[in-house]
Amino acid sequence: MKYYIIAGEASGDLHGSNLMKALQKRDVNADFRFWGGDLMAAVGGHLVKHYKERSFMGFFEVIKNLRQIFKDFALCKSDIASYQPDVIIFIDNSGFNLRIAKWAKQKGYRTNYYISPQVWASRAKRVHDIKRDIDAMYVILPFEKAFYKTYNYDVTFVGHPLIDAISDRVQVDEFAFRRKHLLNDKPIIALLPGSRKQEITKTLSVMLSIIDKYPDYQFVIAGAPSQDFEFYRPFITHPDINFVNNKTYDLLSISYAAIVTSGTATLETALFKVPQVVCYKGSNISYQIAKRIITLKYISLVNLIMDKKVVTELIQNDFNSRELKKELDIILDADERKKLFLHYYELEQKLGGRGASEKTADLIFNSIQSIA
């Protein structure tokens, strides 16, 4: 079978690679062509375009890059037409994928979606487009099935792929890791400023502004695979700032606390049982627009899944040195940490256990077989 997969960022690359591996177990003749990253490329097939080349975040940033985005749409459509896949698998990345899905459905291609667009957060009317253009939707958050049901759209909850990604990893040797990355014996506060240039620029300076307040801890920046060290260099102005590139899971596994930019990383941090403060800061234009269209009580996946405040969220103007120090002090307290750990264990149970990639691969492969 021929599979065309479209993922748009580091997390999509991770989940796409695991889905590809699961498909290979079921289909010995699986042929992949995809938009993704290094992890998907390592599985095999042909990488059409790397997500690093099209990582635009926020309304203003997208507008500035419209010409390139339209070129990407045209490239993707022509590439699909040349490849003639048995199925197109969309992974998150809604701004790009939903437009391609509309075209693909009109052309008669089979369309599957793995990891739903966050239509429950804003612009819920997009559900009508999804119902029209997507043959099967596989969701990874427990509340998404109920959300889609209110629109009479039946989707399949497969569990969250992060459970497998974290469970299957090789346990890190903490002593060797610290030595390799020149880390001392102090407890680690991990800094996860995001993966895109815009969000890193907005958040990292504030994260680092409180470093002198914590002489008994060491602050370690988790470098994103989408960025080179040279991008981070101007931020590393203090001798006690450490940097670890593309080893976020290893870093989290030995961290005492974390400051995390809102996104998938908040859930990853929770699954590693690391107390965290969640932050978000965008351009003023992007934030003002987002504030008017996003209807959620929370922005972090941890709080959204639990449907209550489990981790503190510092958003826009509230994300400053004073508030950050106050909230970090709270999660360094032993009693508060115990409470948070209990919430994290409950969260993991809600995510449905292991096997998301395997379940999704079964459903996709069997659906193709049934019409072959």
Whole domain around residue 193: which residue ranges? 167-350
65 & 130 share domain: yes
345 & 359 share domain: no
* pLDDT in the model for residue 95: 85
Q: How confident is the model at residue 8 (pLDDT cuts 50, 70, 90)?
A: confident
User: How high is the mean pLDDT of the chain?
Assistant: 91
203 & 151 share domain: no
DSSP string, 63-121: HHTHHHHHHHHHHHHHHHHHH--SEEEEES-HHHHHHHHHHHHHTT--EEEES---TTT
152 & 217 share domain: no
* pLDDT in the model for residue 52: 82
What is the arithmetic mean of pLDDT over 73-95?
95
167-171, 293-297, 343-347 — most confident range: 343-347
Q: Is the pLDDT of residue 292 over 70?
A: no
Q: What percent of the chain has pLDDT over 90?
A: 75
What is the arithmetic mean of pLDDT over 174-201?
93
What is the arithmetic mean of pLDDT over 99-114?
97
224 & 294 share domain: yes
Q: How confident is the model at residue 203 (pLDDT cuts 50, 70, 90)?
A: very high
Q: Is the pLDDT of residue 55 over 70?
A: no
* pLDDT in the model for residue 263: 86
93-102, 219-228, 283-292, 323-332 — most confident range: 323-332
Distance CA 40, CA 9 (A): 11
341 & 366 share domain: no
Spatial CB neighbours of 56, under 8 Å, sequence gap ≥ 6: 62, 64, 65, 69, 196
Q: Is the pLDDT of residue 306 over 70?
A: yes
Residue with the bigger pLDDT between 251 and 296: it is: 251
187 & 262 share domain: yes
* pLDDT in the model for residue 285: 57
The total number of structural domains that make up the chain:
2
The one-letter code for the residue type at 21 is K
210 & 127 share domain: no
Spatial CA neighbour of 53 closest among 72, 30, 34: 72
* pLDDT in the model for residue 316: 86
CATH number for position 48? 3.40.50.2000
Predicted TM-score of the model (pTM): 0.82
* pLDDT in the model for residue 15: 93
147 & 172 share domain: no
* pLDDT in the model for residue 75: 96
Q: What are 130-165's pLDDT values in tens digits?
A: 999 999 999 999 999 999 999 999 999 999 999 998
Q: Measured between alpha carbons, how far apart are the two ends of the chain, in Å?
A: 10
Q: Is the pLDDT of residue 294 over 70?
A: no
Q: Alpha-carbon Rg of the chain, whole angstroms?
A: 21
226 & 281 share domain: yes
* pLDDT in the model for residue 238: 87
36 & 185 share domain: no
80 & 214 share domain: no
